[in-house]
């Protein structure tokens, strides 16, 4: 699995959730997490969440860190939702290590009662995808600046650390798979 942290601003519009986006954009054909920072403005045609789409909700932020995760080992929707929840818990754990207290409800994190993150997971014929966004600044919702993580260097460090932590977890899982004997085997 590969982690790519984009050094330049890159806006999220929802199209990045499409299959093979990391390959089309960066030549990455393996499982990956691509991390970038920029504005977020998801157009209705790119909305995956049907509740948001039916309610004509907007997903917008002037400054958001986005994690685009793609796995090629399955197209199981339940598995990618499990991975999405795992990623949310991983982000919460990392924030706690920085002294930021959040609460988690499903795949959402809240800071001081205000929603801090957005996330969606889905599948295609070839892969599973997750978008996880966390506000750096926002007038209405929770954000990293409010949590004391607002300087560019702090945000960049956060992006890299969380992306690499996710990769390490999956590398560790792969190692565990190769050392465990199946039940009933001697």
**Per-residue pLDDT reduced to its tens digit, 58-86:** 688 999 999 999 999 999 999 999 999 99
Residue 127 lies in a domain: yes
Q: How confident is the model at residue 134 (pLDDT cuts 50, 70, 90)?
A: very high
Residue 182 lies in a domain: no
How many domains, the chain? 1
Q: How many helices (H) and strands (E) does the chain have?
A: 4, 8
Q: What is the mean pLDDT of residues 119-127?
A: 95
**Residue 17 near residue 128, CB atoms below 8 Å:** no
Handedness of CA 77, 117, 33, 161 (dihedral sign): negative
Place of tokens 């929802």: 14
Q: What CATH number is associated with residue 96? A: 3.30.930.10
Longest dimension (CA), the chain: 60
pTM of the full structure: 0.93
* Of 88, 74, 185, 75, the residue nearest 131 (C-alpha): 88
CA distances from 80 to 9, 69, 163 (A): 27, 10, 17
| pLDDT (0 to 100) of residue 42 | 85
Q: What domain range includes position 90?
A: 2-177
Among 42-56, 63-77, 137-151, the range scoring the smallest mean pLDDT is 42-56
% of the chain residues with pLDDT over 90: 83
């Amino acid at each position: 699995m590969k982690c790519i942290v984009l050094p330049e601003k890159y806006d999220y519009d929802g199209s990045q959730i499409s299959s093979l986006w990391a390959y089309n954009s960066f030549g990455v054909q393996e499982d990956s997490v691509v991390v970038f920072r920029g504005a977020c403005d998801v157009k209705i045609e790119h909305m995956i969440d049907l509740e948001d789409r039916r309610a004509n909700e907007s997903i917008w932020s002037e400054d958001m860190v986005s994690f685009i995760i793609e796995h090629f080992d399955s197209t199981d929707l339940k598995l990618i939702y499990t991975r999405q929840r795992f990623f949310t818990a991983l982000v919460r754990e990392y924030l706690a290590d920085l002294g930021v207290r959040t609460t988690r409800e499903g795949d959402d994190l809240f800071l001081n009662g205000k929603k801090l993150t957005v996330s969606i997971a889905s599948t295609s014929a070839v892969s599973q995808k997750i978008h996880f966004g966390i506000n750096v600044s926002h007038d209405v919702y929770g954000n990293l600046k409010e949590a004391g993580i607002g300087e560019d260097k702090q945000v960049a460090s956060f992006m890299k650390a969380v992306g690499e932590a996710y990769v390490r977890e999956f590398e560790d899982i792969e190692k565990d798979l190769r050392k465990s004997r199946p039940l009933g085997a001697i």
